[in-house]
Structure 1
């Protein structure tokens, strides 16, 4: 099947759309950057970018938000002029890569009995929430508190599955699954730093492949991060890329 960034879940809702942009807004958590952003439907000129940025900044300031996040058209590179403008105005810009895999293509391996991976149930929800809070603290206390509400809401979403991993009985990592008719998106894939490089992430992915053998599994990786190399070694196929620009004021 054809896969694109359009298959990736967005928390925000489109509140403004025209021939150039879609403006996503997530009032439930205003400091969640990934829910509050503008995506360009075509590559903007410098003047169009400036005007759009001014409008978004005014909107965010009225809502007490301190960031601007923009996504550019999938599969298109930023030209030199736009890159220079972003640099001169203190934007951080980078790109993400989209990957897919059929579960049958994920490598086989001997499982470690010390690693247990399972879907979060009501009995383990508090354990999941506490672990997730500890993981989200990397982005600040207010962010971690806000995400708790989202995690609780997602638990009751029939198209959302939360997965937790234990190492020798200790909670070690989590991931979210957004399930559609043909795809399963891996999101929020995180391990406590002290439990990394123990094969836990591999076991978590294998669990996903076993649970959804007839779906296409998709995920987004930072284009300049190290995880993308791991995914490629695990037989994920590169699909596309997308540039983004972020500024915090």
Structure 2
């Protein structure tokens, strides 16, 4: 098994350009999805290299009427102060992700409440999954939510992706994607309806994965300044590294 890095996290998008400095991802099927349209640096750039890359990406995105610029930096490296100062002066949002892994036997036992049910998405409940996912995605705008429907349908047909739906008292309450690769099983896009937070739905979704893949290493990504990362730590996930990213969205 390979050492866990952010390279093992699925990226939805095509590498349209690659050189010694970076990989350029582009996804014409969903131009509004920032996580599919960005540049990932293979080594930390100098400020002059960053500016040249920024100029290239702005011009490239303008061809497709895209209004954002996003950069992802190498694992476990924080951009130099000069770069961070440039981002601050030019209204970039800068943050970092954290990578976690767990062996299913280490995940805590939880009570199986009768009012929570979890199941894999099939033809029978696909429409319920799509409807709830649309509602959850609407937080990022109606256009994003509408375009995401097509991606969700594509993933339903993808044998490497298991879509999961949680119910609370019989009503759809949470969703999750499970991405199966040769070495890892990735939990992605775990979401619970806001009004149903703190009822154990997220834990039951994770427990479903642990039971389905008891002999695999389960991995996921959390935002470095978000509350869920604290939950994952309490659930015995092991920290495996961080990755900085920066994004600027033109209004």
Taking structure 2 as the reference length, what is the TM-score of the superposition?
A: 0.98
Query: Could you say which residue in structure 1 is the equivalent of 2:46?
Result: 45
Find out whether 1:15 has 2:11 as its counterpart: no
Query: Could you say which residue in structure 2 is the equivalent of 1:94?
Result: 95
Kindly state the Cα deviation for residue 77 of structure 1 after the two structures are TM-superposed. Answer: 1.3
Kindly state the Cα deviation for residue 109 of structure 1 after the two structures are TM-superposed. Answer: 1.9
Q: Which runs of 5+ in 1 are unaligned?
A: none
Q: Distance in 2 between matches of 1:109 and 1:194?
A: 21
Query: Could you say which residue in structure 2 is the equivalent of 1:246?
Result: 247
Q: Distance in 1 between matches of 2:162 and 2:149?
A: 15
Q: Distance in 2 between matches of 1:127 and 1:232?
A: 31
Q: Distance in 2 between matches of 1:156 and 1:197?
A: 32
1:125-204 alignment, distance < 5 Å: 125-204=126-205
Query: Could you say which residue in structure 1 is the equivalent of 2:32?
Result: 31
Q: Distance in 2 between matches of 1:153 and 1:77?
A: 35
Kindly state the Cα deviation for residue 174 of structure 1 after the two structures are TM-superposed. Answer: 0.2
Q: Distance in 2 between matches of 1:197 and 1:245?
A: 30
Query: Could you say which residue in structure 1 is the equivalent of 2:121?
Result: 120
Q: 1:147-183 CA distances to partner (integer Å, 9 max, x unpaired)?
A: 0000000001000000000000010010101101221
Which secondary structure does the structure 2 equivalent of 1:123 belong to?
Answer: coil
Q: Distance in 2 between matches of 1:36 and 1:109?
A: 38
Q: Distance in 2 between matches of 1:32 and 1:117?
A: 28
Q: 1:204-225 CA distances to partner (integer Å, 9 max, x unpaired)?
A: 1000000011111000000011
Q: Distance in 1 between matches of 2:90 and 2:25?
A: 23
Q: Which runs of 5+ in 2 are unaligned?
A: none
Q: Distance in 1 between matches of 2:242 and 2:146?
A: 31
Which secondary structure does the structure 2 equivalent of 1:122 belong to?
Answer: coil
Query: Could you say which residue in structure 1 is the equivalent of 2:74?
Result: 73
Q: Distance in 2 between matches of 1:194 and 1:109?
A: 21
Q: Distance in 1 between matches of 2:95 and 2:110?
A: 34
Q: Distance in 1 between matches of 2:200 and 2:51?
A: 45
Q: 1:78-113 CA distances to partner (integer Å, 9 max, x unpaired)?
A: 221111110001100010000000101000122111
Which secondary structure does the structure 1 equivalent of 2:111 belong to?
Answer: coil
Taking structure 1 as the reference length, what is the TM-score of the superposition?
A: 0.99
Q: Number of residue pairs matched?
A: 249
Q: How large is the RMSD of aligned CA atoms in angstroms? A: 0.6
